[in-house]
Amino acid sequence: MAAPESATARLARLLTMVPWLVNRQGIDIARAAAELGVSTDQVEADLALLFVCGTPGHLPDDLIEADWDGGRVFLRNADTIARPLRLGLDEATALIVGLRALAAVPGLDERDAVDRALAKLVDAAGDASEVSDRVKVALAAAVPSDTLSTARAAVAAHRRLHLSYVVASRDETTERDVDPMRVVSLDGNWYLEGWCHRAQDVRLFRLDRVASIETLDVDGTPPTGARPRDLDTDLFTAGPDDLRATLQLQPEAAWVVDYYPVESVERAADGTLTASIRAADLTWLRQLVWRLGGAARVLEPAELRDEVAAGAAAALASYDA
């Protein structure tokens, strides 16, 4: 559990909660707690505190009336604090930056709503809106807008999709039928998550690698057991069949350890790194070492090193032909 809420943090929360409740007289206390992101006990404790606060004089008529008998919340005589406090800098920034990121999404059907909401919010936030320009989020743009909107429409309508999908790590284009679950933007890429009939499992498809997308006239409800992945733990969890390779990286290739899942890294005095890296197949590792040119040497497995050298020699020979 987090640290106990400070007195001022609680005050800020109450000043937000009061207007919210005043406009929802008679709301079920459990529902209010859920929407306010606190426990029911907390809401009761908050109401009990409000009940003893009020305007100067503090006679019964001056106090806030809070009533939650029978599980329904009524809040009255709280006119002075019935309007929410203006948005703070972080609050305005979070929403404005989020909306601006959405506005840049190609082919978003809600573009008009985003623009309208943004205009109103910027107006309401005053100075904070200008400042919020100093935080920027660039969601992935490298997706054809029709791919994104087709995928979204299929999620909404529960239609099965047929994809031609490029698996870059194996350098293949594959054909798949997918029951779509959601469209997610994460770490700078858009993904379609869905039940893949070919893999018989939940898969994430990067939308910029979808070569073609077609909505099928078939119900696309995923099987009941299909669960979306927890994107916050790790998008690419290592599989039990993963291969392991050890690469020696020159300093100019040190970025590799920031970009790809590495199990261990050792840094030598001369700046070279020895990294143990996991991958689902060899094709991807070969690709990586070739593109790194002279900046990476495969220490293990030896077969991979030989394949890299032989493949590069074969490629080089084709230029002489």
Residue type, 30: A
Question: Given candidates 38, 74, 106, 131, which one binds other proteins under the rule CB under 8 A?
Answer: 131
Question: Given candidates 76, 120, 198, 244, which one binds other proteins under the rule CB under 8 A?
Answer: 120
By CB under 8 A, tell whether 26 contacts other proteins.
Answer: no
Question: Given candidates 53, 226, 243, 262, which one binds other proteins under the rule CB under 8 A?
Answer: 53
By CB under 8 A, tell whether 1 contacts other proteins.
Answer: no
Q: How many CA atoms lie within 13 A of 13 on its CB side?
A: 17
**How many chain residues interact with other proteins (CB under 8 A)?**
126
- Site for other proteins, residues 201 to 230, rule: CB under 8 A: 209, 211
- Site for other proteins, residues 262 to 301, rule: CB under 8 A: 267, 271, 273, 286-298
Name the segment binding other proteins (CB under 8 A); options: 67-75, 173-181, 213-221, 237-245.
173-181
- Site for other proteins, residues 132 to 161, rule: CB under 8 A: 132-140, 152, 155-156
Q: What is the rounded CA–CA span in Å between residue 50 and residue 32?
A: 16
Neighbours of 215 (CB within 10 A): 16
Q: Is 26 helix (H, G, I), strand (E, B) or coil?
A: coil
CB nearer to other proteins: pick between 178 and 181: 181
Give min distance, CB of 216 to other proteins, in A.
17
Question: Given candidates 114, 204, 213, 277, which one binds other proteins under the rule CB under 8 A?
Answer: 114
Name the segment binding other proteins (CB under 8 A); options: 67-75, 111-119, 196-204, 215-223.
111-119
Q: What is the rounded CA–CA span in Å between residue 216 and residue 212?
A: 13
Neighbours of 68 (CB within 10 A): 20
Q: What is the rounded CA–CA span in Å between residue 275 and residue 12?
A: 48
By CB under 8 A, tell whether 30 contacts other proteins.
Answer: no
By CB under 8 A, tell whether 76 contacts other proteins.
Answer: no
Question: Given candidates 30, 124, 216, 218, which one binds other proteins under the rule CB under 8 A?
Answer: 124
Name the segment binding other proteins (CB under 8 A); options: 68-76, 123-131, 217-225, 237-245.
123-131
Give min distance, CB of 240 to other proteins, in A.
26
Contacts of 128-133 spanning 24+ positions with Cβ under 8 A: 128/87, 128/88, 128/89, 128/92, 128/93, 129/92, 129/96, 131/89, 131/92, 131/93, 132/89, 132/92, 132/93, 132/96, 132/97
Name the segment binding other proteins (CB under 8 A); options: 47-55, 66-74, 216-224, 236-244.
47-55
By CB under 8 A, tell whether 60 contacts other proteins.
Answer: no
Q: Token pair for residue 189? A: 């890429």
By CB under 8 A, tell whether 243 contacts other proteins.
Answer: no
- Angle of CA points 90, 137, 130, to nearest 5°: 50
Residues in the chain: 321
By CB under 8 A, tell whether 189 contacts other proteins.
Answer: yes
By CB under 8 A, tell whether 89 contacts other proteins.
Answer: yes
Q: Token pair for residue 294? A: 């002279």
CB nearer to other proteins: pick between 36 and 262: 36
Q: What is the rounded CA–CA span in Å between residue 193 and residue 216?
A: 17
Nearest to 104 by CA among 141, 74, 56, 131: 141
Q: What is the rounded CA–CA span in Å between residue 292 and residue 288?
A: 6
Question: Given candidates 29, 38, 282, 312, which one binds other proteins under the rule CB under 8 A?
Answer: 312
